[in-house]
Amino acid sequence: MGIESTFTRAAPVLAALDIEKTVLFYEEKLGFERILVTNDTYGIVRRGAVHIHFWHCHDKYIADNTSCYIYVEGIDLLFQEYQATGVPIAGALESKPWGVREFAILDLNGNLLKIGEHNEMRSKSEVKER
């Protein structure tokens, strides 16, 4: 059939009402590292293999209606970390019938970040801890 492309990673691009304040929020509250801020029109942060990009947007309605999903390992510890830093929790940590344990947070723009861990990853991380 020929050579096929392989998707290797994705980076959501979220609306930000203020790039600098958004990047600071992700650094101070969510534990991300600043990669780039350009003329207050574009920003990038990273935590582990996850990169999130931000574009400057004047319309809060757009951010309030935008979301992304981030997969992690060690979700219980991350949930505790975010509770301790006062991150706005928008959805409780719970196991879902589709095989994911997840919670949701809102960033300061109103973007919804759903954060989840596949049950098979939980099993692997629990084995490592023992």
Residue 25 lies in a domain: yes
Examine the pLDDT at 123 and tell me if it is beyond 60: no
Residue 111 lies in a domain: yes
Residue 1 lies in a domain: no
Distances (CA, A) of 114 to 20, 65, 81, 90, 120: 22, 13, 15, 9, 18
7: confidence class by pLDDT, cuts 50, 70, 90: confident
pLDDT value of residue 95: 96
Provide the domain limits for residue 44. Answer: 13-129
Residue 6 lies in a domain: no
Tell me the C-alpha distance between 118 and 116, whole Å.
7
51-81 pLDDT, tens digit per residue, is 999 999 999 999 999 999 999 999 999 999 9
Residue 5 lies in a domain: no
List the CATH number of the domain containing 39: 3.10.180.10
Dihedral sign (CA 72, 75, 77, 83): positive
Examine the pLDDT at 1 and tell me if it is beyond 90: no
Q: In total, how many domains does the chain have?
A: 1
pLDDT value of residue 51: 97
Residue 60 lies in a domain: yes
Residue 7 lies in a domain: no
21-56 pLDDT, tens digit per residue, is 999 999 999 999 999 999 889 999 999 999 999 999
Instruction: Provide the whole-model pTM.
Output: 0.87
Residue 36 lies in a domain: yes
